[in-house]
Structure 1
Amino acid sequence: MKNILYAVTVTVTLACASLCGPAAAADREWIDYKRLLEITRLDKFYAAPPAARDKVRLLGTVQPNNAAIAPQDIVFTVVRGAQVKRITVDREGRFDPAIDPAWARDNPKVLTNMPPGEKARFSFAAEPIVPPGTRFGYAALMAGVRQSNALVKEQGGMMRFLMPTFSGIELRYAPGQGASARIVSARGEAIVSADAQGALRLKLDERLASTNAEVILSHVPQSVDLLAE
């Protein structure tokens, strides 16, 4: 899945202790949960009311400075009393912080299996939540674009000037799949096809969104990303 990273990148030393090496180490105490949200900028996202962020999904991202450490080998562990929650990382460095309101309130410790002294870059990735299936309203498909722009404006603070304006979505398919989107509106029909790499780009059109246009996809996409201007 392709995902564009947004926000100022923060470099964090994964603290302390003895010898450092590229191999994953045993779990050790790292930071508290609130700090994890701060360095990924997800604290701003979760500060918004749920109804203002229900059409977009934000993921934390981590990229070790040491190329010998594969992102997918990193695990973060939240420990809250007897409750232990593992947070895994994918090949592209993305992870879901699996936020629980109680965690933000109680601020539990976060463990990491990264070796002491290693540095990593943290930021966040955004992706829209789209309706399931292959047939839905155009406005519903683009709801994540509108909501993402509103979140940047309302929650980004000074950082909003460093963030892009989102202009549409990109549906990702396997190359050569021949995927397409048919948009049916009062103006007639339009066909948009994926390119040779499997990317099908749809720009936000306010007129289509306001006139109850319909989108019919030839295939269910592998992933959906935000397009930035």
Structure 2
Amino acid sequence: MERFSLKRDWSEIPGHLLANVLERLIVADDYVKFGAVCVSWRTVFAEELGMMKMKKKHRHLLPFLLIPPHKEEKDGNTKSRSLYNLSNRRVCDFEVQLPHSKWCRGSCFGWLVNLEIDYYSNHYSVQLQNPFLSNNHTIDLPPLDNFEVINEQLAKQPLCLKKAVLSANPTLADDYVVMAIMGDFGRLAFFKPGNKDWIPIDSNQLVHITDILYFSKTQKFYAVDDLGAVFAIDLQGEDEE
């Protein structure tokens, strides 16, 4: 009687099926382990990364949380942050180096927004930083010194920049937009590469904004105010509620 083996050669799975599986992974650990299975899986993994770079797309994976490190420096100035993995509920061994003198705001695509305030000169410097890149990991943004909302409110506090989001990954695209919530009244302003200053969005409706995100399929920013109203912001068109 002939016996049938249940063993399967996973390296012979068709590439289009592997690519389909890869698209459904949301945990960074699984994404890396996928490419380490065998040569054929690694090939699909590399091809997908190449296609993402060519199409200037970014894989949306489950994010990590930035938390205080386990050990404080002797001088009390914390210069690093630990990463918390939501998938396995563990603190990663890898630590992110961040300047202790700057206020940090989370953004997207691995980029953080750092705000440094010089209270004596009333200078507000803003910088994008990607702690996971070895080269070209910082991008200087226009300072907030001349931004009217900040100066009018004399907002000498880190809340003058509450949140900032990106329309694309600056590592893969040069035409990205940074949209930020500014000041105590929660107004919006944006920056495009080549601009010398932040450009405020002058609208009586877009005030008291509490959150904002970018949706790539519609190529619009979406903002929510403190009353729950949702606004779609198209930088090439008009705002609509």
Same fold (TM over 0.5): no
User: Which has the larger Rg?
Assistant: 2
| TM-score when normalising by structure 2 | 0.22
**Structure ranking higher in helix proportion:** 1
